Amino acid sequence: MTSALMSVYRQAEVAFDHGKGAYIFDVNGRQYLDFNAGIAVSSLGHAHPHLVKTLQDQAAKLWHTSNLYRIPHQDRLAERLVENTFAEKCFFVNSGVEAIECAIKTARKYFYDKGQPEKNRIITLEGAFHGRSMAAISAAGQEKLVTGFGPLLPGFDRVIPGDLEAMKMAITPETAAIMVEPVQGEGGVNPLSDAYMQGVRALCDEHGLLMICDEIQCGMGRTGKMFAFEWSGITPDIVAAAKGIGGGFPFGACLATAEAASGMTPGSHGTTYGGNPLAMAVGNAVLDELLKPGFLDHVIDIAAYLKAALDDFASRHHNVVEAVRGRGLMLGVKLRGLDPRETVAAALANGLLVAPAGDNVIRLLPPLIIERPQVDEAMVLLEKTLASLTQDVENDAG
Ligand SMILES: *Cc1c(COP(=O)(O)O)cnc(C)c1O
């Protein structure tokens, strides 16, 4: 179909009209089970009553003032994030990639202000995804992200994930920080092991480096902890958050310890829209739900139920499923001999939304509020999807 849009997305021929909880309905009224949640964004499902009410009330009051004035919802959200996470300082932005930009700038400015401007390089991981700005694609360095967009920004060194010796070798007197996704999302739902996360923290301590976690996809309750790094019992210096933080309202945050944020002085950074009253009102409403007693326990419980179902699915279909991996409600099914994009399209045709990822993986990123019946339903739809894809193979086999 020809379109007036730039052709950067190969969009499926489906358009959605409305949603409710874990379900979404297309313009023809057909219902789908949403195990994509807009790529880990709609964590509380669609049309959550508390979010809808908050947005409607705020829309009638005040949308935008700029950061030249105090924004009470913003102060409150920052205070609550500080109270409930490692963070001591917050900066609000409009998207994930802006949170990454802020994280990178915060790390570089820290060493500049300490009189060590030569410490400005950041070590990142192969298979990483940090967004689409020039800095973010330069950081990730993946061929498919950078081709045609050079010259890239200097200052990034890449190592393979899981190899602490390689990480150690990459550290030089110019290294400022190490940046990792505790669970790589786009790269194929690869959780970094707790031992590796602890090793990265130890290397940062030993060499006086800042540890940056990109928690844009795996944070805000997605793995059953507020942030995925918590599973490893370590504390980073800087965290980029977005996606689930707004429950569908676009915003992000750069969180840091007071020490790491010490270079972010008046006038050094800014944003016109970031932290606006609409976004901050919704952000507080999302946090109201996330902080409810038992919310994260539910994520852990339902995630274990989904993981068990997927493991069972994998063992019954080991000819086409190589592995199930991930953490919490960020799960990947690594396929064998099936194309992830075709599999995602077949799932859509069967009424189930899932997302593709790198390394031949399909991603399951359901809203955190799903219950067992929805998991059971997803498994039925996955079985149907697989049957529709492997019909020919099985017919040939006899
Ligand atoms: C989605 C994502 C980003 C980029 O976020 P945008 O809001 O698209 O800019 C960065 N890092 C990770 C890990 C992500 O999943």
pLDDT tens digits, one per residue of 104-134:
999 999 999 999 999 999 999 999 999 999 9
Q: What angle do CA 278, 242, 3 make, to 5 degrees?
A: 80
Ligand 1 lined by 330 (C-beta under 6 Å): no
CATH number of domain containing 151? 3.40.640.10
* Mean pLDDT confidence for 163-179: 98
Please state the separation of Cα 398 from the chain's center in Å. 43
- Active-site residue, selected from the candidate residues 243, 251, 307, 359: 243
Six-digit token string for 254: 């750069």
- Residue-wise pLDDT for 11-59, tens only, equals 999 999 999 999 999 999 999 999 999 999 999 999 999 999 999 999 9
Bridge partners, residue 15, by sequence: none
Asked about 129 being catalytic, the answer comes back as yes
Q: 3-class DSSP state for residue 217?
A: coil
**CA distance linking residue 193 with residue 263, whole number of Å:** 31
Please name the residue whose Cα sits nearest to atom 3 of ligand 1.
131
33 lies in which domain range? 16-40+293-397
Q: How many CB atoms lie within 10 A of CB 116?
A: 14
Atom of ligand 1 nearest to the CA of 184: 13
**CA distance linking residue 201 with residue 212, whole number of Å:** 10
Nearest alpha-carbon partner for 98 in 272, 251, 275? 251
386 within 8 A of 378, measured Cβ to Cβ: no
Residues 179 and 322 in one domain: no
Backbone angles phi, psi at 183, to 5 degrees: -125, 110
DSSP one-letter code for 268: S
Residues 233 and 340 in one domain: no
Alpha-carbon distances, residue 245 vs 38, 88, 252, 331, 373 (angstroms) = 13, 17, 7, 19, 26
CATH number of domain containing 358? 3.90.1150.10
Ligand 1 lined by 131 (C-beta under 6 Å): yes
Residues 169 and 237 in one domain: yes
Nearest alpha-carbon partner for 281 in 92, 99, 88, 97? 92
Strands 23-26 and 183-184, sheet pairing: unpaired
Ligand 1 lined by 130 (C-beta under 6 Å): yes
- pLDDT classification of 349: cutoffs 50, 70, 90: very high
- pLDDT classification of 345: cutoffs 50, 70, 90: very high
- Least confident stretch, 87-91, 309-313, 349-353, 393-397: 393-397
Ligand 1 lined by 217 (C-beta under 6 Å): yes
Asked about 359 being catalytic, the answer comes back as no
Q: 3-class DSSP state for residue 350?
A: coil
* Residue keyed to tokens 């099936």: 338
Residues 30 and 53 in one domain: no
Pocket test for ligand 1, best of 92, 94, 98, 129 (most atoms within 8 A of CB): 129
Pocket test for ligand 1, best of 42, 43, 94, 97 (most atoms within 8 A of CB): 97
Residues 270 and 121 in one domain: yes
- Active-site residue, selected from the candidate residues 214, 225, 229, 251: 214
Q: What is the pLDDT of residue 103?
A: 99
343 within 8 A of 320, measured Cβ to Cβ: no
- Return left, alpha or beta for 150; rule: phi > 0 is left, psi -120 to 50 is alpha, else beta: beta
343 within 8 A of 373, measured Cβ to Cβ: no
Strands 355-357 and 361-364, sheet pairing: antiparallel
How many domains is the chain partitioned into structurally?
2
**CA distance linking residue 251 with residue 199, whole number of Å:** 31
Which of 268, 290, 312 is the C-terminal boundary of a domain?
290
pLDDT above 50 (res 398): no
Please name the residue whose Cα sits nearest to atom 7 of ligand 1.
96
Bridge partners, residue 46, by sequence: 21
Query: Which residue ranges make up the annotated binding site for pyridoxal 5'-phosphate?
Result: 129, 214-217, 272
Atom of ligand 1 nearest to the CA of 186: 15
Q: How many CB atoms lie within 10 A of CB 79?
A: 11
Residues 222 and 309 in one domain: no
Asked about 214 being catalytic, the answer comes back as yes
Ligand 1 lined by 129 (C-beta under 6 Å): yes
Ligand 1 lined by 45 (C-beta under 6 Å): no
Helices and strands, number each (H, E), in the chain: 12, 17
* pLDDT cut 90: percent of the chain above it: 97
**CA distance linking residue 148 with residue 127, whole number of Å:** 19
Residues 111 and 204 in one domain: yes
